[in-house]
């Protein structure tokens, strides 16, 4: 039985984490990893609210329509009318990338008005992706809005709505270093995704059947204050099942010929 | 049964007509048939700046710089005569000019998002945009805009000169990147890229595998 990896503990919910930040790049797309995360997330919360800011909502509808847990998924549009320019829209329900109402109020209104059932007590918020909000608002505003979403609010406690976790995908190439640092600071878990070399991939037999794989550098701040920092490998399999493996770095040792020449 | 809408910021219609003639395309008749619509971005921007009696189309109601009117003009051009959208190709030449005109990077991203959503999701269309990303120029906004476009595109055509220097027979290198950005099909999750060399002729472009230029072979 493989040892539990840090990333797997986070994804499965065994290790609590309020804000999980998944960073990808142009050379390594993190959306498949995010989908793998949602697969496990849907099993342990009452509802998963997914805010779609990068792709049209129809992409997600199509994907989740075949899932057993589709009744737990609530999709929120953050792509089709991001600045209120579409005068033909009948409903004003698209999340604005920049709004006088602010991110927190928009998100909370969306959560309140789209509840799976009156008894759902634990909801998770998935943001795909956070990049448009971070590009159109100050870093302070984004950070404070995300923190506020997790805080108990008197109005919402009456409705028994509890945001237990926020998972946000962030494209690291689209932001300045200080923006990324600020986001990592407020996140209790930061998962940085990278490509892996063919050599690394061949070391793990189970990756042979993976459709997609990569390296995940996970930094997690436990409740005790201990900081875990681990490099692990992930693989995406059929139906976007995500599996995590231990990563053993290749150590290049100098040969005896090099030593004798010195 | 489709049409082409060209939003140009740096060249006039005559330039594209003469290029079209070299490629054997009659843009004049396409304009007459309304299968080719030319929107002069530079004229659009200058209107209202030169004539102070006209409202500036690049300033919104809250007196902030906005590309909304430009998007609405494109949206109108895309619609058919009866108001219904028809399959259309939107070409934007080139997006970097908006940065040079001091439009904030975030405003340009919003504008591109609307164009993309309209073309790709509302109608059965396609959008092609040109952006500059000069590695020698330290312009953060240009780099961010180029990366934004890369991240929101399904296919990226990355053109650059040869690393070995100028050549008479090979004018540059083209990298075609299939981003697979939605990662919806787990059978095709990986990014795919191919590199080819190209040479520009008077009446077209020829492509060949790297190192197989006719001059070498």
Residue whose C-alpha is closest to residue A247's, from A12, A2, A30: A2
Task: Give residue B96's pLDDT.
Answer: 93
Predicted confidence at residue B51, as pLDDT, reads 58
pLDDT at residue A199 is higher than 80: yes
Is B15 within 8 Å of chain A by CB? no
In what side-by-side order are the strands of the sheet with B192-201? B155-160, B172-178, B192-201, B204-209
How many whole angstroms separate alpha carbon A43 and alpha carbon A12?
9
Q: Is B109 on the interface with A (CB under 8 A)?
A: yes
Q: Cα–Cα distance between A22 and A14 in angstroms, integer? A: 18
- pLDDT for residue B194 is more than 70: yes
**In the structure, what pLDDT confidence band is assigned to residue B80 with cuts at 50, 70 and 90?**
low
A81 close to A94: Cβ distance less than 8 angstroms: yes
Band (B108; pLDDT cuts 50, 70, 90): very high
Residue position matching structure tokens 């099993």: A43
Higher pLDDT, A89 or A71: A71
Q: What is the pLDDT of residues A27-46, one digit of tens each?
A: 999 999 999 999 999 999 99
Q: How far is B209 from chain A (nearest CA, A)?
A: 23
Burial class (CB in 10 A: 0-12, 13-18, 19+), B145: buried
Chain mean pLDDT for chain A? 88
**How confident is the model over B86-100, as a mean pLDDT?**
91
- Give the Cβ contact number of residue A217 at 10 Å: 16
Position B29 confidence tier, pLDDT thresholds 50, 70, 90: very high
Å between B64 CA and nearest CA of chain A? 13
When CB atoms are compared, the residue of A27, A98, A171 closest to B191 is A27
- Interhelix angle B105-117/B68-78, rounded to 10 degrees, is 20
- Give the distance from CA B91 to its chain's centroid: 5
Least confident residue range of A175-179, B81-85, B104-108:
B81-85
Is the pLDDT confidence value at A258 over 50?
no
Q: How confident is the model at residue A160 (pLDDT cuts 50, 70, 90)?
A: low
- Sort strands A163-171 and A189-194 into parallel, antiparallel or unpaired: unpaired
Q: How confident is the model at residue B210 (pLDDT cuts 50, 70, 90)?
A: confident
Q: State residue B180's pLDDT score.
A: 86
**A36 against A89, higher pLDDT:** A36
d(CA A77, CA B121): 13
Q: Using CA coordinates, name the residue in chain B closest to A133.
A: B106
**B169-182: pLDDT as tens digits:** 888 899 999 998 88
> What is the reported pLDDT for A40?
94
Q: In which band, very low, low, confident or very high, does the pLDDT at A1 lie, cut at 50, 70 and 90?
A: very low
Q: What is the mean pLDDT of residues A204-208?
A: 87
Quick check: B105 contacting A, CB < 8 Å?
A: yes
For residue B37, the cross-strand partners are B5
What is the reported pLDDT for B155? 94
Confidence of residue A205 (pLDDT cuts 50, 70, 90): confident
C-alpha separations of B66 from B4, B41, B103 in Å: 24, 14, 8
Residue A197 has pLDDT above 50, yes or no: yes
Q: What is the pLDDT of residue A260?
A: 47
Higher pLDDT, A46 or A256: A46
Q: What are phi and psi of A258, to 5 degrees?
A: -65, -40
Mean confidence (pLDDT) of chain B:
85
pLDDT class of A201 with cuts at 50, 70, 90: confident
pTM of the model: 0.90
Distance from CA of B179 to the nearest CA of A (A): 8
Question: pLDDT tens, B55-73?
Answer: 666 766 665 677 898 999 9
On chain B, the residues whose CB falls within 8 A of the CB of A86 are: 114
Does A89 score more than 80 pLDDT?
no
Say whether A58 and B121 touch across the interface (CB within 8 A): yes
**pLDDT value at position A262?**
44
Has residue A23 got a pLDDT over 80? Answer: yes
- Chain B touched by A236 (CB under 8 Å): yes
Q: Where are the beta strands (DSSP E) in chain A?
A: 19-24, 47-52, 73-77, 123-128, 163-171, 189-194, 212-221, 227-236, 242-246
Give me the pLDDT at residue B101, please: 86
Q: How many residues does chain A have?
A: 262
Residue A241 forms contact with B (CB below 8 Å): no
The residue-averaged pLDDT of A190-213 equals 90
Task: Please give the pLDDT value at position B81.
Answer: 64
Say if residue A137's pLDDT is above 70.
yes
Q: Which residues of B touch A234 (CB under 8 A)?
A: none
Query: Angle at the Cα of A174 (from B157 to A82), degrees rounded to 5?
Result: 95
Contact between B183 and A29 using a beta-carbon 8 Å cutoff = yes
Among A35-39, A83-87, A145-149, name the one with the lowest average pLDDT. A83-87
């Amino acid at each position: 039985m493989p040892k539990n990896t840090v990333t797997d503990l986070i994804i499965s919910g065994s290790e609590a984490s309020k804000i999980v930040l998944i960073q990808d790049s142009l050379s390594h797309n993190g959306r498949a990893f995010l989908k793998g995360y949602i697969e496990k997330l849907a099993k342990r919360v009452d509802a998963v609210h997914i805010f779609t800011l990068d792709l049209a909502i129809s992409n997600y509808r199509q994907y989740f329509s075949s899932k057993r847990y589709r009744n737990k998924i609530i999709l929120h549009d953050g792509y089709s009318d991001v600045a209120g320019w579409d005068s033909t829209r009948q409903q004003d329900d698209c999340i604005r990338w920049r709004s006088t109402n602010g991110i927190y109020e928009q998100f909370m209104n969306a959560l309140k008005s789209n509840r799976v059932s009156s008894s759902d007590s634990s909801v998770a918020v998935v943001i795909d992706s956070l990049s448009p909000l971070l590009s159109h608002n100050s870093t302070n505003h984004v950070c404070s809005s995300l923190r506020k979403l997790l805080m108990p609010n008197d109005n919402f406690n009456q409705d028994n709505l509890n945001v237990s976790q926020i998972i946000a995908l962030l494209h690291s190439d689209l932001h300045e270093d200080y923006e990324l640092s600020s986001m990592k600071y407020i996140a209790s878990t930061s998962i940085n995704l990278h490509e892996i070399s063919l050599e690394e991939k061949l070391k793990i037999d189970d990756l042979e059947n993976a459709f997609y794989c990569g390296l995940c550098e996970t930094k997690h701040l436990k409740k005790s204050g201990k900081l875990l920092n681990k490099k692990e490998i992930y693989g995406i399999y059929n139906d976007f099942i995500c599996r995590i493996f231990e990563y053993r770095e290749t150590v290049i040792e100098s040969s005896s010929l090099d030593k004798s020449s010195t | 049964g489709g049409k082409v809408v060209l939003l140009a910021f740096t060249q006039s219609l005559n330039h594209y007509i003469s290029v079209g003639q070299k490629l054997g395309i009659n843009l004049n008749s396409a304009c007459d048939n309304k299968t080719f619509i030319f929107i002069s971005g530079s004229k659009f921007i200058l209107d209202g700046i030169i004539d102070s009696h006209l409202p500036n189309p690049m300033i919104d109601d809250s007196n902030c710089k906005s590309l909304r009117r430009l998007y609405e003009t494109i949206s109108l051009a895309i619609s058919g005569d009866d108001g219904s959208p028809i399959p259309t190709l939107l070409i934007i030449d080139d997006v970097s000019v908006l940065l040079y005109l001091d439009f904030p990077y975030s405003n340009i991203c919003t504008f591109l998002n609307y164009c993309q959503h309209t073309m790709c999701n509302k109608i059965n269309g396609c959008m092609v945009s040109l952006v500059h990303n000069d590695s020698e120029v330290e312009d953060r906004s240009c780099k961010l805009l180029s990366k934004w476009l890369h991240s929101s595109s399904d296919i990226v055509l990355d053109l650059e000169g040869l690393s070995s220097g100028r050549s008479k027979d090979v004018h540059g290198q083209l990298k075609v990147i299939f981003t697979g950005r939605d990662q919806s099909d787990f059978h095709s999750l990986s990014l795919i890229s191919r590199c080819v060399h190209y040479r520009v002729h008077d009446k077209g472009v020829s492509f060949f595998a790297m190192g197989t230029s006719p001059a070498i072979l």
